Structure 1
């Protein structure tokens, strides 16, 4: 079902007691339904929370503003990261005892990464599909041993591979347990990524 709480319209589904709580974040132009069937297939017993981006870029939904391709409005990102932290905190508090996983694609991966940098304690696992982090995050000991999957395309015109490699290097330097799945293509999600994601979430 899609419901509206104090901060986001979101798809929510209550799963089996004790099964993971999974947050899913869509890409630019997607919506709260983009990954719900995928999560249901990979983790049939999971509870799901998938918020709808509340920023419109010429009609395409996003989670924060940008001023150009790969150029973020950092003040807006900070504000919306804080808003998303509160949203996740609220749902996590309502689901005590569940492990919390998250996945995001493109703009959804970027807001997830920003939340992860701010509050790594919120998640047991996080999957960033084609993230673009064009700034240097601060050192963060809270990321130590955090399970993180990053997927990318070698020829992604939106998320250049060197920036993806830089993000992997940053996370490894914080002590995170990082896995990477990189295909030969561009910004599209390929089957190899989905297999890596399934293995990562189910393990």
Structure 2
């Protein structure tokens, strides 16, 4: 693995750790939708994610980028135990308005027993935005870790994820798609 790939993986991991465990309100304050602030400034809001199914009260607020990365890592990390059944690890990153909330993600190609597959080198590319939504084209490399520690890298995969600004000041994922949906 090149130094650049390692650096990108460390940055992605740090973003997920901050998104999942950083103190609420620790990020910079943006203007919020409708404030007249530039779009990039409206993407980082402190506050707490509202409680709900799979979301404990007091969870840290997320930027749309951090919400998207945390969602992709949770949604695409699978084990053999996930075979043939939906898992709900990503529910905590879904907005209450998400059509996917509570449905879970069906795992069709689980890794063998003792192995785990997770996304690495997660990259985001702006794919459109509206006042309260941001869509990203997300690319990542699935890496399987066998029970003996052997790593197998799969081909890069992509999906489209739309993050939505919440009344609480948080960003959560509204939807995902394998094809580009209409601009939010």
Greater relative contact order (CA < 8 Å, ≥ 6 in sequence): 2
From the CA coordinates, give the structure whose radius of gyration is larger: 2
Higher helix share: 1
